[in-house]
């Protein structure tokens, strides 16, 4: 047969396949999420997420140090507050859990990129991501006022990057205004710019022990909407976001590719709890090869256009990269 090009020619040897490989996974791509709960004495396993724990504050330093020693250079901190109120005021207290976590992480590993997840849902007694009005809706602009207080507390504690996840309109502009006016213009903002109201967050609710009963459909995005996801991200670019994000990851790779094609901003994906739990469950049932499936999944994020990957698999990926080398 006379073919002008035979694609298989470049697949015949491992060396040649390596040379024409378009995407690679590196530890530098990874951000490890860490959960800290107040008022506990020992780590509590998250039942639906084997290998993931809620740590007592006294163990945060050991976990940060462990990650640093393994080569992980970025973490994102989530607090599980036992000092909840109706507005989440613990988040802007200079003695609050968010501030304490940041201080511990920076003291332990000064060169670790310490990112704070900036929201209110783990610090409010009703579990919503902000101030709730009499009609039950989250008050966008009142929440922005509190978010400004929160990010300034995080900045004073030494945080390296702010990551607002509440999907409030105007949140990036409000954060930028607060940081810039108080001498923190050097601190970047990674926006959860296209965050969908997703069923894949189910195990995360376990992780943060949320007794949340409602839904967040009035502020998070409809999973049906791809054009709107691009508009959300472009709005955040306009407001000054340094890094954009799509959350969840695997079911939204079309959104990743579309944002990648429309802006030069670095782009993160959040490989969420449900994505992790599904693979763990399938691997435990013996129906898939966990390592192969995870590495293929992470590569798909890179191929789609993601630069940064927030994943509960960070430690495993480090192991697998070392084994592969």
Residue ranges that bind Zn ion, judged by CB under 5 A: 119, 121, 129, 166
Of 129 and 241, which CB lies nearer to Zn ion in the complex structure? 129
Catalytic member of 84, 106, 213, 247: 247
- We find the least distance from the C-beta atom of residue 167 to Zn ion, in angstroms, to be 8
Which run of H or E residues covers position 107? helix 97-108
Distance CA 180, CA 114 (A): 19
Distance CA 242, CA 285 (A): 41
Cα Rg of the chain (Å, integer)? 20
- We find the least distance from the C-beta atom of residue 155 to Zn ion, in angstroms, to be 19
Distance CA 96, CA 83 (A): 9
C-beta of residue 219 within 8 angstroms of C-beta of residue 168: yes
Counts of helices then strands in the chain (DSSP H, E): 11, 10
Give yes or no: 247 in active site.
yes
Catalytic member of 195, 213, 280, 302: 195
- We find the least distance from the C-beta atom of residue 192 to Zn ion, in angstroms, to be 9
Of 52 and 121, which CB lies nearer to Zn ion in the complex structure? 121
What's the chain's length in residues?
325
Give yes or no: 106 in active site.
no
Of 205 and 315, which CB lies nearer to Zn ion in the complex structure? 205
Of 129 and 187, which CB lies nearer to Zn ion in the complex structure? 129
Bridge partners for 77 per DSSP:
34, 116
- We find the least distance from the C-beta atom of residue 138 to Zn ion, in angstroms, to be 10
**Catalytic residue list:** 195, 247
């Amino acid at each position: 047969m006379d073919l002008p090009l035979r694609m298989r020619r470049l697949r015949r040897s491992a060396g040649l396949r390596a040379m024409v490989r378009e995407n690679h996974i590196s530890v530098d791509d990874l951000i490890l999420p860490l959960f800290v709960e107040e008022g506990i004495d020992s780590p509590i396993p998250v039942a639906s997420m084997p290998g993931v724990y809620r740590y007592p504050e006294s163990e945060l330093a050991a976990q940060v140090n462990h990650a640093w020693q393994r080569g992980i250079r970025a973490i994102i901190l989530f607090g599980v507050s036992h000092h909840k109120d109706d507005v989440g005021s613990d988040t802007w207290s200079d003695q609050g859990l968010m501030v304490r976590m940041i201080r511990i992480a920076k003291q332990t590993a000064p060169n670790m990129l310490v990112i704070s997840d900036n929201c209110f849902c783990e610090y409010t007694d009703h579990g919503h991501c902000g101030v709730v009005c009499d009609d039950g809706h989250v008050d966008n602009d009142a929440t922005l006022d509190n978010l400004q207080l929160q990010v300034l507390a995080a900045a004073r504690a030494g945080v390296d990057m702010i990551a607002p996840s509440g999907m409030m309109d105007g949140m990036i502009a409000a954060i930028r205004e607060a940081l810039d006016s108080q001498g923190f213009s050097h601190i970047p903002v990674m926006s959860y710019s296209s965050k969908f109201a997703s069923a894949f967050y189910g195990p995360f609710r376990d992780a943060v022990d949320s007794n949340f009963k409602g839904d967040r459909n009035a502020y998070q995005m409809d999973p049906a909407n791809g054009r709107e996801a691009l508009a959300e991200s472009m709005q955040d670019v306009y407001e000054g976001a340094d890094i954009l994000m799509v959350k969840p990851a695997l079911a939204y790779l079309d959104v990743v590719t579309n944002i990648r094609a429309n802006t030069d901003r670095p782009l993160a994906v959040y490989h969420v709890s449900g994505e992790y739990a599904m693979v763990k469950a399938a691997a435990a049932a013996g129906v898939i090869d966990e390592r192969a499936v995870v590495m293929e999944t992470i590569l798909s994020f890179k191929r789609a256009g993601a630069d940064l990957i927030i994943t509960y698999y960070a430690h495993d990926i480090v192991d697998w990269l070392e084994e592969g080398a």
